[in-house]
Chain A
């Protein structure tokens, strides 16, 4: 067992180094973009402000001409103390507060649809691989692969147009209705679920095929293995073979994929959020880039980076649990 702990610690160290590298890139890349935020905000007024205003704005934003190394130092110091700075687009709101508001909706929407797509896809994959001569197996994989091959934004807009606009069954935008008060009350919860259903549906739609196919394919090759034949010969119930013997082995690649996808949940389903006007992380990121809001961009990229790394580490743990071979 100590070996597996050593393995986890080693992985953790690797992730820490990767995280640090990402933080550094995160600092450098926005600074390579053309333009500076104060000038951009000034220009937005289209000639209605005097140029002297720019200096006032630079003072407020704390934009300095300090050497990059000093800026880098205060950036790292800020992150370690949990202070991500003040947003420029939403001045004077702190970045951490803006991100936390977007984060909630993103985790809710993208997380929920990922879990649905992953569990449904994997279960269906197990099932159709087990009954691989059945009708479902000839029908489902090509249909889902076909759907998954559509450009996502096109499919999402089509669905929004049909079910949201033409049929008027679902709302066109937002995370909840304007008539409800946020809080722990039934109308609010119902409204949130109602508003999330269409975007979540589109996300499940396009990703289901991937999960299903990869599960089905590994499952089929696992089912051909000798130990399955042996288990059959021993007379173990087929349900047990399907789930405990075959699926447990075959799920490993899907699990890695799940970990990756889990990390990317935080980057927000950018297109989904834009098409459905959903107030999540992806939409925030778009706004931040448009306004050259360095602090907000950095904050968002940082949460994404750490989420991906943390999810990978969790997958490492999960694989240790599922796959005894890694525990040697």
Chain B
């Protein structure tokens, strides 16, 4: 590839970004409606929440609020709203805007992205700087949803007839970038908010978004210097990208703390046995999966599936627990023998009725990293006598099968969040388990455990850090004991940059935030810190 020799005619004042794959842009800057796909960075860059979670440091950063406090045995949450913030049109921002936003989502449930009004009683501004949130029932994890809601200006939204069909073509926000300088179907530009509340930030005057329709085009543009920052997946990145110009071509794929899973349908007669699930896990050669399937971009999963920034939740006894994500063929064979699946002369395991045991692994077609991983796993399982077939399905068909439980095993993701609460709830909460054939939006592997339910419910009622830590440790122990799913490898976040024209992107040595612009809204740390060279 001699693409570096291409003539580059680019605007050197603007940071050129790729995040969304569209061939022509639609002018939509509406942050609230979960059904709408507003232009990046509407959620975080134009509209900001009260707190922003930094997944690299695993901490909440005060944003439009400066502090919070739980009151009345966790039935009230008080926020101190930042003063001195202005909307990009010069109108002052205050707690009344915040209260308005929440009450808007009450009036229009379709805007209530995280169904907050299921546990909220009222949201009231007591003064310009004090916001009082009252709960119908105690639900401490609700903090994530409340702190993460994007705040819209009351003086604009109160003039709109139908907020559900509103595409907000001229955004007015509190974020660092708010001015639409140009909007054509193939390219648009976003200028900085001159009233931004963080002094001297952002450093870059404008952001430029050309339309790219494939990852190949993104790679070419990164190589030729026509693109500065991207969150695309690039195969063999060292050879294809870094080697062409090691000084400027950089990438950082940090561990997000969670893992990619081999989901096992626990309603399947064979996979319902925890011994079989653990045996499968022992039989998988994870370093090989990571090498062949994932270009060595990541590391084998921890047995709790939590690692990297989430490792701080690990129980102190974790090393004494069974580590079934280690590679151990003898153990796998012993467990399978014990479960009653004997081998025939051809080294194939037999089902209890004497037929050859065979399982499918379903993967989304075109997701080549996961398909390769599934093929490696299939080879690994053959070594312990389990015959598997990798089948690929179109995304729609795949998700349909997952939701209705029409699968044996599948490579997929698990729930995430600022604490492992969502993850464990998605893995083991009985109320999420639906009968086979019925659509389950979560817990596709259909595993419920009453002990876990109790722990999860008590987790929802406490804001005491020690108690939270304690409950999460107990949940880990349950997870290790029952293996409701098989963690494969840590999930990386893709991020690449070309530092020829701009510098100070986050990196391994300067990890102030994620480099991946897919991390919403924490990409804002990068937006605020990148500088022109």
Interface residues of chain A, those whose CB is within 8 Å of chain B, are 33-35, 38-43, 46-57, 59-61, 86, 88-93, 98, 101-102, 165-166, 168, 172-176, 178-179, 181-182, 274, 277-279, 283, 287, 290, 292
**Complex interface: chain A residues within 8 A of B212 (CB):** 173, 277
Question: A52 CA to B520 CA in the complex, in Å?
Answer: 19
Interchain CB contact under 8 A, B399 and A40:
yes
Binary contact track B11-50/A, C-beta < 8 Å → 1, others 0: 0000000000001101010100111110000000000000
Q: Does B187 contact A (CB under 8 A)?
A: yes
Interchain CB contact under 8 A, A178 and B210:
yes
Interchain CB contact under 8 A, A39 and B399:
yes
From A48, A55, A56, A90, contact of B416 by CB (8 A): A48
Q: Does B111 contact A (CB under 8 A)?
A: yes
Interchain CB contact under 8 A, A56 and B441:
no
From B36, B184, B395, B442, contact of A51 by CB (8 A): B442
Contact residues of A: prevailing secondary structure: loop
Question: A57 CA to B28 CA in the complex, in Å?
Answer: 17
Interchain CB contact under 8 A, B164 and A279:
no
Interchain CB contact under 8 A, B23 and A59:
no
**Complex interface: chain A residues within 8 A of B37 (CB):** 89-91
From A38, A60, A172, contact of B33 by CB (8 A): A60
Question: A57 CA to B441 CA in the complex, in Å?
Answer: 13
Interchain CB contact under 8 A, A279 and B34:
no
Q: Does B186 contact A (CB under 8 A)?
A: yes
Give the Cβ gap from B148 to chain A, nearest Cβ, in Å.
10
| Identity of the chain A residue whose Cβ is nearest the Cβ of B141 in the assembled complex | A50
Interchain CB contact under 8 A, A35 and B397:
yes
Interchain CB contact under 8 A, B114 and A52:
yes
Interchain CB contact under 8 A, A49 and B35:
no
Interchain CB contact under 8 A, B441 and A42:
yes
Task: Please give 4 more A-B residue pairs, beta carbons under 8 A apart, in addition to A48-B416, A56-B112.
Answer: A38-B35, A92-B33, A92-B166, A279-B186
A-binding segment of B2-10, B315-323, B474-482: B2-10
Q: Does B213 contact A (CB under 8 A)?
A: yes
Binary contact track B205-235/A, C-beta < 8 Å → 1, others 0: 0000011111001001000000000000000
| Identity of the chain B residue whose Cβ is nearest the Cβ of A277 in the assembled complex | B213
Q: Does B138 contact A (CB under 8 A)?
A: no
**Complex interface: chain B residues within 8 A of A41 (CB):** 35
**Complex interface: chain B residues within 8 A of A61 (CB):** 35
Question: A56 CA to B111 CA in the complex, in Å?
Answer: 7
Most chain-A CB neighbours within 10 Å: which of B6, B23, B28, B401?
A: B23
**Complex interface: chain B residues within 8 A of A88 (CB):** 35
Interchain CB contact under 8 A, B186 and A176:
yes
From A34, A60, A101, contact of B397 by CB (8 A): A34
Interchain CB contact under 8 A, A174 and B118:
no
**Complex interface: chain A residues within 8 A of B24 (CB):** 101-102, 279
**Complex interface: chain B residues within 8 A of A35 (CB):** 395-397, 399-400
Interchain CB contact under 8 A, B110 and A59:
yes
Interchain CB contact under 8 A, B186 and A174:
yes
Q: Does B195 contact A (CB under 8 A)?
A: no
**Complex interface: chain B residues within 8 A of A50 (CB):** 114-115, 145, 422
Interchain CB contact under 8 A, A92 and B6:
no
Interchain CB contact under 8 A, A91 and B35:
yes
**Complex interface: chain B residues within 8 A of A174 (CB):** 186, 211
User: Could you write out 13 A-B pairs with CB less than 8 Å apart?
Assistant: A35-B395, A52-B115, A56-B35, A60-B36, A60-B164, A91-B37, A93-B167, A168-B7, A172-B217, A178-B186, A182-B185, A277-B214, A279-B23
Give the Cβ gap from A216 to chain B, nearest Cβ, in Å.
39
Question: A178 CA to B414 CA in the complex, in Å?
Answer: 40
A56-B35, A93-B26 given as contacts; is B416 within 8 A of A40 (CB)? no
Question: A20 CA to B131 CA in the complex, in Å?
Answer: 58
Interchain CB contact under 8 A, B416 and A47:
yes
Q: Does B413 contact A (CB under 8 A)?
A: yes
From A40, A56, A181, contact of B395 by CB (8 A): A40
**Complex interface: chain B residues within 8 A of A165 (CB):** 3
Interchain CB contact under 8 A, A39 and B439:
yes
Interchain CB contact under 8 A, A39 and B167:
no
Question: A86 CA to B213 CA in the complex, in Å?
Answer: 23
From B9, B110, B210, B413, contact of A47 by CB (8 A): B413
Question: A40 CA to B364 CA in the complex, in Å?
Answer: 12
Question: A98 CA to B27 CA in the complex, in Å?
Answer: 11
Query: Which residues of chain B from 404 to 423 have any CB-CB distance to chain A below 8 Å in the complex?
Result: 413-416, 422
Interchain CB contact under 8 A, B403 and A39:
yes
A168-B7, A277-B213 given as contacts; is B113 within 8 A of A91 (CB)? no
From B114, B164, B165, contact of A49 by CB (8 A): B114
Question: A91 CA to B112 CA in the complex, in Å?
Answer: 17
Question: A269 CA to B339 CA in the complex, in Å?
Answer: 56
**Complex interface: chain B residues within 8 A of A48 (CB):** 416, 520
A50-B115, A52-B115, A56-B112 given as contacts; is B165 within 8 A of A92 (CB)? yes
Question: A175 CA to B187 CA in the complex, in Å?
Answer: 11
Interchain CB contact under 8 A, B6 and A168:
yes
Question: A174 CA to B401 CA in the complex, in Å?
Answer: 36
